[in-house]
Chains A and B, each alone.
Chain A
Amino acid sequence: EVQLVQSGIEVKKPGESLKISCQGSAYSFSNYWIGWVRQMPGQGLEWMGFVHFSDSETRYSPSFIGQVTVSADRSINTAYIQWSSLKASDTALYYCAAALHGTARWDYWGQGSLVAVSS
């Protein structure tokens, strides 16, 4: 069964850096796009950025350009999203999702990674 497994809870201070991961298990995601989704407390879903596993092409939603960096390591079937300087407003639940290249169906979702940023 295809699964996306994300890294766990992170508690950080403003200004710190962070990199969270999303690993595909029991399947090769070489021809998949991985998307990252933010869900702030009590709020809706927002696409942040996308990375293609095969060639590491990246795309970003306008609101997140310069705010985060998405990447992938095909050798270990893992995608990442990282922040260089966290803000309190980055406190949220972050999901990764996978869609086969050429389709628009986000079939597989990680369990979510909770990030709390507070001084």
Chain B
Amino acid sequence: QSALTQPRSVSGSPGQSVTISCTGTSSDVGAYNFVSWYQQHPGKAPKLLIYDVNKRPSGVPDRFSASKSDNTASLTISGLQSEDDADYYCCSYWGSIYVFGTGTKVSVL
């Protein structure tokens, strides 16, 4: 099973919006509505941002939104803030296990 494909990096100025894509196959992203997204700051454990394609756990700002179309999922960060500068990973259910994306570095300029 190969990792899901994400852009290596995206950047934006404070207040702008950025979108991260996550491309899989009809066996993972395209097959299940079990896509989640995680934020990881340097030296910290990952944090759940989105689950079941587009649901936010309590405490996650509504600046974070997500969607899925066919084999590609997307995470949008609206109104970028300095604390959004981090790595982001998508994750999909695949049969009985899970697979992560390659990861995207979001830089707030």
Would you call A105 and B97 a contact (CB within 8 A)? no
Chain B's interface size range is: 20 to 34
Pick the contact of B48: A35, A37, A50, A105 (CB < 8 A). A105
Would you call B100 and A47 a contact (CB within 8 A)? yes
Would you call A104 and B57 a contact (CB within 8 A)? no
Chain A residues whose CB sits within 8 angstroms of the CB of B46 once the complex forms: 37, 45, 95, 97, 106, 109
Q: Quick check: is A32 within 8 A (CB to CB) of the other chain? A: no
- The interface-forming segment of B62-70, B72-80, B88-96 is B88-96
Cβ < 8 Å to A, chain B residues 32-85? 32, 34, 36, 38, 40, 45-48, 51-52, 57
Chain A's interface size range is: 20 to 34
- The interface-forming segment of A13-21, A57-65, A82-90 is A57-65
Expressed in whole angstroms, the Cα–Cα distance for A32 and B14 within the complex equals 38
For A111, the closest partner residue in chain B by CB is B45
Name the prevailing secondary structure of the A interface residues.
Answer: strand
For B99, the closest partner residue in chain A by CB is A47
Chain A residues whose CB sits within 8 angstroms of the CB of B52 once the complex forms: 104-105
Expressed in whole angstroms, the Cα–Cα distance for A62 and B42 within the complex equals 28
Expressed in whole angstroms, the Cα–Cα distance for A103 and B32 within the complex equals 12
Q: Quick check: is A112 within 8 A (CB to CB) of the other chain? A: yes
Pick the contact of A44: B93, B97, B103 (CB < 8 A). B103
CB distance from A22 to the nearest CB of B (A): 12
Would you call B102 and A104 a contact (CB within 8 A)? no
Chain B residues whose CB sits within 8 angstroms of the CB of A103 once the complex forms: 51
Expressed in whole angstroms, the Cα–Cα distance for A95 and B47 within the complex equals 12
Expressed in whole angstroms, the Cα–Cα distance for A46 and B103 within the complex equals 10
Which residue numbers of A lie inside 8 Å of B, CB to CB? 35, 37, 44-47, 50, 59-63, 95, 97, 103-107, 109-112
